[in-house]
Amino acid sequence: MSNFKQLSTLLESFIQAGPPGCAFGIAQNGKVLHESYHGMADVEAGTPMDENAVFRLYSMTKVIVCTAAMILFERGKFLLSDPLYEYFPEYRDIRRVQSSPNGNMSIVPVKNPMLVRNAFSMSVGLPYAMGESYTSKAMRQVQEGLREKHGKYDLRTEIRAIADVPIAFEPGTHWLYGYGHELVAGLIEAASGMRIGAFMQKEIFDPLGMTSTGYRFFGDIENRMVPMYRRNPDGTLSRNVGMFDDRHQPDAIYEGGGAGLFSTVRDYLRFTQMLANGGELDGVQILGRKTIDLMRRNQLNSDQLADFSNTYLAGYGYGLGVRTLMDPAAGGSNGSIGAFGWTGAAGTWTEIDPSERLSIVYMHQTMPNMEEYHHLRVRAAAYGCV
């Protein structure tokens, strides 16, 4: 095993032209091999980056939520082949957008129901509401209407309302990043009778000793949250309000499946080590090894892989809520086939490798997150150390 000097040098170089600070951890066989913290957590306050830094996970929330759902899968609470309308009756008679060759658009009934597996694999035809497609705009209108009617509202209220939105394609025919994991979180609530946050606290956070992870601020978490920064073209930094920061306040209601959690490198490293080591850490079994194998098995056909592929994700397929490495050569990766993980919008990243019982966690807080530059270099350097 190499020492981590060169990796630390790489991370130090990031803060010269990228985020003002970053954090890294790597563990294997249940033991932390290396942790390092670089630059500043809060530039204005002069707070250095350290192990207490709390990061918005954004889409790295998805890995935890899908893991939580698979706990219920193991308990027989649902099957991947179940129609979603068994858990959300409003989704029985969904419709989709149909475009004709002359450019005309119509709304037609779907031929097949949304399945639970479609929600996990992002093939339900529901994007996020930020885009300009017909479906995105319709979702945005629904969310605006809910805010006008309720002010604050919860996930299940939103899921019921989104059922009226025409989806972008026939379920299961394409891959489209978006709302699928909100449906997975709602499935957890329907199958367990608990709010998603409470379920994960009981089944994952408390058993693993993840004491700085959650949806709502508690203790000193708010003071430890790393501010959001943007690196300007002239090299200066601008401090911005983090997307969805209002959802961390104690009076917030919404708990999302696709984003919303915060955590530290140490907490997330414990979670990923559990997955890397067959679902067990320090004598606590969270999930079965074969279930983790199912999570990291590619779920996409060739057409869906074409939707999924880009230069950042080269070599990967998509499993049940996680990317999974299928072709290291295509991805220019020195990692292992079947290594899996995901990324967060503000620069968090993880790779989990059961074949090596290894997991890697990297975090910073900038938008745009410059993911392709930072994460692929961290991946190469980290694997060079084991």
Per residue in 152-204, pLDDT (tens digit) is 999 999 999 999 999 999 999 999 999 999 999 999 999 999 999 999 999 99
pLDDT at site 281: 98
Kindly give the interhelix angle for 134-150 and 155-162, rounded to the nearest 10 degrees: 130
C-alpha to C-alpha distance for 304 and 301, rounded to whole angstroms = 5
pLDDT at site 318: 98
C-alpha to C-alpha distance for 225 and 49, rounded to whole angstroms = 11
Task: Quote the DSSP letter at residue 89.
Answer: G
Quick check: 17 pLDDT over 50? yes
The boundaries of every CATH 3.40.710.10 domain in the chain are 5-63+211-383
Query: What is the helix (H) or strand (E) element at residue 324, kind and residue range?
Result: strand 323-325
Give pLDDT tens digits for 257-270: 999 999 999 999 99
pLDDT at site 317: 98
Which token pair is 264?
């530290």
Quick check: 136 pLDDT over 90? yes
Quick check: 85 pLDDT over 90? yes
C-alpha to C-alpha distance for 15 and 43, rounded to whole angstroms = 12
Output the CATH code of domain 5-63+211-383.
Answer: 3.40.710.10
Q: Which tops the pLDDT comparison, 135 or 101?
A: 135
Q: Are strands 47-48 and 284-285 parallel, antiparallel or unpaired?
A: unpaired
Given a contact cutoff of 8 angstroms between Cβ atoms, the answer to whether 124 and 186 are in contact is no
C-alpha to C-alpha distance for 69 and 203, rounded to whole angstroms = 10
SS3 label, residue 12: helix
Residues 6 or more apart whose Cβ sits within 8 Å of residue 310: none
pLDDT at site 1: 46
| Mean pLDDT of the 63-91 span | 98
pLDDT interval class at 228 (50, 70, 90): very high
Residues 6 or more apart whose Cβ sits within 8 Å of residue 70: 287, 291, 292, 294, 295, 320
pLDDT at site 2: 61
Q: What is the mean pLDDT of the chain?
A: 96
pLDDT at site 3: 78
pLDDT at site 235: 86
Which token pair is 239?
């401090």
C-alpha to C-alpha distance for 255 and 152, rounded to whole angstroms = 11
Give pLDDT tens digits for 18-57: 999 999 999 999 999 999 999 999 999 999 999 999 999 9
What predicted TM-score, i.e. pTM, was given to this entire model? Answer: 0.97
pLDDT at site 192: 98
Given a contact cutoff of 8 angstroms between Cβ atoms, the answer to whether 212 and 224 are in contact is yes
pLDDT at site 106: 92
pLDDT interval class at 8 (50, 70, 90): very high
Given a contact cutoff of 8 angstroms between Cβ atoms, the answer to whether 222 and 56 are in contact is no
